[in-house]
Structure 1
């Protein structure tokens, strides 16, 4: 490996303070391994020739081994959240004597647990073996789901739901790290849509129906539901210890040549693979970036739909005039609609460059119309209202496509992990707010959801405008020579730099 470079912090200082980048570096890259991304270890010590067909074959191998695992993990996370809605139909509210707005708070408290886990979880995800972190937290949230069956009153249920959220907290940031490590930028939205695909209702619907029809059980139906789902989650967590890799450079199912190809093919992202050293200037950048806050606010508003519907879905359908057993079956199509929406919107949003925010904004308007219709249609038109209720679930396409923005627009491992945690804070904040929309009445909830969708639509257009402005500013800086020789001839893709420090990095929107 030839050439020298400053430490990452020194390079960052040159960018922000306009110090002459030609002055002698303090350390060589060999001396400062913290400046290197994990990809440098593989790409600078070995080399293999390969064709595009070889790269496609490696990507397919990663797809077949990784994506089903992430999909089922994401689905079980959703199942453990939405099961509360079916449990309410089967006597949970009556058995635990929930009154007033207590059920709304039972829906929200899990998100407070997730929120509390976000920053410690982000640190753990970066510092420790990713596979072990994910497997351990899945085992623990399976235990918490099982223990929900022993809740005796509102207080004990709240405590168990909080702990369930606490252990679920790091899961989606960890999944995001996997996708960014393994896939090119244009491949990421579809993979993100897959692990966020909510087919949970297809799993929980038949299970809830079958358990609901059982009459010989000596245990309350809602308790049996929790024990069954928690047990499946626990066993899946054990399996994850053997199924998940830590990163492409150490994945045992890949040969040395395949590891090289897996890492080399994603260099075009200019976002790096992994670095275990926490760089605090990158953390600071994530917090000071205006795009971060526009994205977060938009995602909070989209996720109020998820928060409200997760907690009140079964009660909304039941309120339309359907029986409890009919309700659990009628909830099943919502998972298919969410999944189809996320995959279609994510795919279409990557066909044409820089149209993601347009599709996100447009998709937000569809559930807005659906919510207005379910609110205003006559009460006796229950099948028409059920149809537009399904339309509301198209909101998930907007969220999954928005989840790809930090993946393609962020470089530097510390900055990426920080921003993933921030966006998941937005996710959980929406989950907290959503149930409160319905705490007084369904009508109030519908009005609040419509307002959220309208504002979110505008925010993602603002995100696109900020990206356009920052790209033009980067073009001017490059033309003025501010990035010339900054890395002393070393390929910037091998350095753990943030995107603001990379000459050729441009934001996608």
Structure 2
């Protein structure tokens, strides 16, 4: 028999390279993709082109926001005459600005190129941060903190949206984990930098807290230029330098995500979202988790200082606090990815901050309380919350709306949290800690409900499919911009 001399076409090669494992995950109903060598190469290309800039913006965003925390130890109280409770308000007002930008941000994310948008925003917020060094009293600092939050509030929704667009649903938990691990790494590295800045106190007659604002503001301003020019902000961005075969793989990945970038704002997507109980569960999960996050991130240095450590030592002791967040986020992320499980890992992650708040309440005043502080991280649970949204909401406008609702709750939680740390309740802040314990417990219950309801819906759709009542998805499914409710072949990740 003669050997065939037929060379496979690009389409035939793609069909082989994007093969799927037959069968589904018993828990999630997800089709389990076996990545071809070509797709693995593509993912590496996306990682190297896209993620370095994302990590940089998240790094400076968290450091810029947290300059207030170390400023408490570097003379801001003495120079501006603010009180303990006014300091808490400065921490909170940042999130009022963060909240104020969300509605126009939701519109602009769908109407303008994200790379140009974020690049300009970075330059503006760098200038705003530097201007903090000119603040002379509470009123001036309050206005600047509002503006800083206003500009920084564009960041998370844009990055959430890009990750959910560029990566498969099964891959997204790794990168959301990376986002929050980057925040924690910023605590570690930022504390080291802040320790050095602390030794600049008085140099050129400028206090250390002002040096922190100026230095980090300059870094942020200049980061805006590479973002404007080089951020890959769509699946087929020219910066990925895709081959024709890779473009076909990108189309398949887009079908998996059920998210197609478009500039049409669909009101029916928003109305559908407003009718879903899980939207409100996600909202309150975000709100409750960020009560504790806002309070601890704003007052961490002062809490440590009240344990009997000096100002500079208190800054250094923020490093293991950041390291503990990196560790816990990494564990939650790896477990979720390894077992393809979001809900149960999220419920377990709620135990960490709950236990941390209990230990801060009951342990003797002093260094032993560091154990409670280092456990008081809500980042693992919040990482999985965002993964739930990204992995289980189909339709571009609907996903933006869910993400924006999450960010609104994030702002409200971080606004209320620092205000709960009332000065006369220091050093234990008993009412606030009790509030955090209750909030963490309720969050775990809501994660449990969401997992149960999505599993129930998966089973219903599976039953309809077995009866032949669900039509096969159309070949141009990725272009229809269907929501997860409209597309009955869609399966929720649990």
TM-score after normalising by structure 1: 0.86
1:492 Cα deviation from its structure 2 partner? 2.2
Q: From 409, 424, 431, give the equivalent of 1:426.
A: 409
Q: Against the structure 1 CA distance between its residues 261 and 313, is the aligned structure 2 distance closer, same or farther, given a 3 Å change threshold? A: farther
Partners in 2 of 1:245 and 1:385 — Cα distance?
A: 44
Partners in 2 of 1:265 and 1:218 — Cα distance?
A: 59
Residue matched to 2:491: 506
Residue matched to 1:494: 479
- What aligned pairs does 1:211-250 form with structure 2 within 5 A after superposition? 211-214=197-200, 215-250=202-237
Q: From 344, 352, 363, give the equivalent of 1:366.
A: 352
Residue matched to 2:28: none
8 Å Cα contact 1:189/1:401 also seen in 2: yes
Instruction: Name the SS of the counterpart of 1:266 in structure 2.
Output: helix
1:49 Cα deviation from its structure 2 partner? 2.8
Residue matched to 1:28: none
8 Å Cα contact 2:360/2:373 also seen in 1: yes
Partners in 2 of 1:310 and 1:93 — Cα distance?
A: 18
Partners in 2 of 1:135 and 1:482 — Cα distance?
A: 48
- What aligned pairs does 1:56-205 form with structure 2 within 5 A after superposition? 56-99=40-83, 101-197=85-181, 198=183, 199-205=185-191
Residue matched to 1:450: 437
1:265 Cα deviation from its structure 2 partner? 4.1
Confirm whether residue 329 of structure 1 aligns to residue 316 of structure 2: yes
Q: Cα RMSD over matched residues?
A: 1.9
1:377 Cα deviation from its structure 2 partner? 1.2
8 Å Cα contact 1:141/1:167 also seen in 2: yes
157-166 vs 330-339, which deviates more? 330-339
Partners in 2 of 1:133 and 1:478 — Cα distance?
A: 43
1:481 Cα deviation from its structure 2 partner? 6.3
Confirm whether residue 406 of structure 1 aligns to residue 393 of structure 2: no
Instruction: Name the SS of the counterpart of 2:450 in structure 1.
Output: helix
- What aligned pairs does 1:15-94 form with structure 2 within 5 A after superposition? 47=11, 49-50=13-14, 51=17, 52-94=36-78
Q: From 421, 431, 440, give the equivalent of 1:438.
A: 421
Instruction: Name the SS of the counterpart of 1:508 in structure 2.
Output: coil
8 Å Cα contact 1:148/1:157 also seen in 2: yes
- What aligned pairs does 1:254-403 form with structure 2 within 5 A after superposition? 254-257=241-244, 259-353=246-340, 355-379=341-365, 382-393=366-377, 395-403=378-386
Partners in 1 of 2:213 and 2:375 — Cα distance?
A: 29
Aligned residue pair count: 458
Residue matched to 2:29: none
8 Å Cα contact 1:248/1:259 also seen in 2: no
- Unpaired runs of at least 5, structure 1: 1-45
8 Å Cα contact 2:97/2:146 also seen in 1: yes
Partners in 2 of 1:291 and 1:255 — Cα distance?
A: 37
Instruction: Name the SS of the counterpart of 1:403 in structure 2.
Output: helix
Q: Against the structure 1 CA distance between its residues 272 and 219, is the aligned structure 2 distance closer, same or farther, given a 3 Å change threshold? A: same
- Unpaired runs of at least 5, structure 2: 1-9, 18-35
8 Å Cα contact 2:81/2:137 also seen in 1: yes
Partners in 1 of 2:412 and 2:357 — Cα distance?
A: 21
8 Å Cα contact 1:59/1:262 also seen in 2: no
